[in-house]
Amino acid sequence: MGGVMQGAGVSPGVGSGPVRSIAGAVPEPPAGARHGGDAAAETDTALAALEAVAADLEERGERAAAVGNDDGRDVLNAQALMARDPGLADGVRGAIGGGTAAARAVFDAFGVYREMLAGAGEYMAARVTDLDDIRDRAIARLLGLPVPGVPESDEPFVLVARDLAPADTAVLDPAQVVAFVTEEGGPTSHTAIIARTMGVPAVVALKGATTIADGTRVLVDGAAGTVLLDPSGSEVSAARAAADARASALRESTGPGATRDGHAVPLLANIGGPKDVEAALANGAEGVGLYRTEFLFLDRATPPSDAEQEKAYRKVLEAFPEGRVVVRTLDAGADKPLAFLPAPGDEPNPALGERGLRMMRLHPDVLSAQLSALARAAAGLTVKLQVMAPMVTDAAEAAFFAAACREAGIEHPGVMIEVPAAALRARDLAPEVEFFSIGTNDLTQYACAADRQIGGLAHLQDPWQPAVLDLVAPAAGAGVSCGVCGEAAGDPVLACVLVGLGVTSLSMSAPSLPLVRAALARHTLDECREAAAAARAARSAGEAKDAARARLPGLADLGL
């Protein structure tokens, strides 16, 4: 038997086969590389390479659409647009005009965009891979190197890569690829999204993945996030049997969320826009618990027009005629910087600065335009529209937001609880609004004083920290309905604990819904309460998780 490697499981299921790696990386062209002096010819060569990449991406998009992968085509067409971006061409022209060789000029021009995306929050940072892929394709053409891509294989294989680009994955044959494993990437990377769409097991962020020799047989468990090297036949069959049992348990768990004894816990989806509605519905979401509206505002110099906002909101609202949609007003600042709403002045700690509702108080016109667009979008629809503000600290801020909502004709105002002060004094905020939604991502960051953008502090960014659970309890007990919409809600074990703490709904990324639904359906409300009490009595995140699991016997059925 070989060793086990641990990464992050982002698409469940088990796959076993020989490893095939994506063709070698394109090297960085040396800094300071100069061209021979004919800047015009060099510029033509560089722009022609970018155009050739764009045309190739479009052609791959057509091939993807021909095998029914319309999403793949859309992603590839978006990449082709990036390759043809006039700003990028200007950057290349400028650098070549200054004497830089074409390949290096392309590398540097992409670098500017790369930095912008990398600093624009987790979702946008995941798009950096798309950008790197376009850059590498163009540089490979310019340097006469093989274009990076998926290997050929005469038997089904486990595809291993540093990270997967849409151009690679969109043309993959799902019958040939039994699993994806990448060294980089996160839950919102393309590898994760495409693997889930294709139903292929995937493990990302696996340190050392690219050092596994081609041909090595591995067993990938996309739920546990593990890769077992050289598995025995019995290990493969045991893993398959467990995955099959879980898959059938998940298929059987349908309908509205509830505990085994019938305590209803609506299960909702986190979305970034109308594009995410389909996955939410496919996974049985009873509505939307967090619509992150900032995606409509990113990457632009001016806010979207009132009509554009109204149209996007209406598309989402129309999809849930019998459900609810919780829209979050613009959460600008800190990890979600917006070009047209810069922080006023220099902020040494942006996460503690002007962000969320604080930023909207500086720009009340942006807030009222958004609230009015929402009210218009909901007019005449049966859906229950709830609107909440991010980063609210005290009762005065909650009252300010509720008044702004009322003025715009929004009937159901709420606030996110993501600042420890708001959680501890939730009873002061409760009379001002109709509901709370706990953002455990930020609540954990602030409770543990650990910046969520710093990977090295991951152990402190754990919502299992008993201090975080201690902050959830007063918010859930303050007398207004209280959901959770941070990542914690999508952890099936923690979801049971949150319900035991009194949380009334759970909102998560769509693929997490079935497992959470199944975990809740296997436990009574009392079992959830006991698990919650045991977790709060623990002295560390690890102990809290173990203590909760010990009181949730139904998890075993799900292989958890």
Residues lying near ligand PEP in the complex (CB under 6 A) are found at 290, 292, 331, 418, 439-442, 485-486
Contact partner at residue 523 from Mg ion, ligand PEP, none, CB < 5 to 8 Å by partner kind: none
In the beta sheet, which residues pair with residue 507? 268
How many CB atoms lie under 10 A from the CB of residue 87?
10
Q: Which stretch binds Mg ion (CB under 5 A): 198-206, 227-235, 439-447, 521-529?
A: 439-447
Question: Nearest Cα to 293, choosing from 323, 324, 338?
Answer: 338
Tokens of 83: 């390759």
Among 310, 335, 432, 442, binds Mg ion (CB under 5 A): 442
Active-site annotation holds for 190: yes
- Please say which residue, 133 or 418, places its beta carbon nearer to Mg ion: 418
In the beta sheet, which residues pair with residue 328? 292, 388
- Please say which residue, 100 or 505, places its beta carbon nearer to ligand PEP: 505
Contact partner at residue 486 from ligand PEP, Mg ion, none, CB < 5 to 8 Å by partner kind: ligand PEP
Contact partner at residue 491 from Mg ion, ligand PEP, none, CB < 5 to 8 Å by partner kind: none
Supply angle C-alpha 543, 544, 550, rounded to 5.
Answer: 85
Instruction: Report the alpha-carbon distance of residue 355 to residue 522 in Å, rounded.
Output: 40
C-alpha pair distances (Å), 139 with each of 18, 78, 162, 206, 254: 30, 19, 18, 27, 49
Catalytic residue among 405, 448, 482, 485: 485
Contact partner at residue 440 from ligand PEP, Mg ion, none, CB < 5 to 8 Å by partner kind: ligand PEP
SS3 474: helix
Distance in Å, CB of 441 to Mg ion, minimum: 5
Distance in Å, CB of 259 to Mg ion, minimum: 27
How many CB atoms lie under 10 A from the CB of residue 279?
18
- Please say which residue, 84 or 361, places its beta carbon nearer to ligand PEP: 361
Contact partner at residue 292 from ligand PEP, Mg ion, none, CB < 5 to 8 Å by partner kind: ligand PEP
SS3 386: strand
Q: Which stretch binds Mg ion (CB under 5 A): 245-253, 381-389, 414-422, 501-509?
A: 414-422
Q: Which stretch binds Mg ion (CB under 5 A): 153-161, 225-233, 437-445, 469-477?
A: 437-445
Taking a C-beta distance cutoff of 8 angstroms, is the pair 147, 140 a contact?
yes
Active-site annotation holds for 363: no
Supply angle C-alpha 461, 465, 469, rounded to 5.
Answer: 115
Distance in Å, CB of 411 to Mg ion, minimum: 24
Distance in Å, CB of 440 to ligand PEP, minimum: 5
Taking a C-beta distance cutoff of 8 angstroms, is the pair 297, 304 a contact?
yes
Distance in Å, CB of 293 to Mg ion, minimum: 13
Contact partner at residue 64 from ligand PEP, Mg ion, none, CB < 5 to 8 Å by partner kind: none
Enumerate residues 6+ apart whose C-beta is below 8 A from 262: none
Say whether residue 439 binds Mg ion (CB under 5 A): yes
Instruction: Report the alpha-carbon distance of residue 506 to residue 245 in Å, rounded.
Output: 25
Residue 384: how many CA atoms within 13 Å on its side-chain side? 13
- Please say which residue, 71 or 418, places its beta carbon nearer to Mg ion: 418
- Please say which residue, 71 or 331, places its beta carbon nearer to ligand PEP: 331
Catalytic residue among 190, 482, 496, 523: 190
- Please say which residue, 291 or 400, places its beta carbon nearer to ligand PEP: 291
Instruction: Report the alpha-carbon distance of residue 169 to residue 25 in Å, rounded.
Output: 16
Residue 89: how many CA atoms within 13 Å on its side-chain side? 15
- Please say which residue, 387 or 555, places its beta carbon nearer to ligand PEP: 387
Q: Which stretch binds Mg ion (CB under 5 A): 246-254, 257-265, 296-304, 417-425?
A: 417-425
Distance in Å, CB of 405 to ligand PEP, minimum: 19
Taking a C-beta distance cutoff of 8 angstroms, is the pair 50, 106 a contact?
yes
Distance in Å, CB of 499 to ligand PEP, minimum: 17
Buried-state track 331-348, b at ≥16 Cβ within 10 A, e below 16: bbbbbbbbeebebeeeee
**Residues in the site for Mg ion, rule: CB under 5 A?**
418, 439, 442
- Which residues participate in catalysis according to the annotation? 190, 485
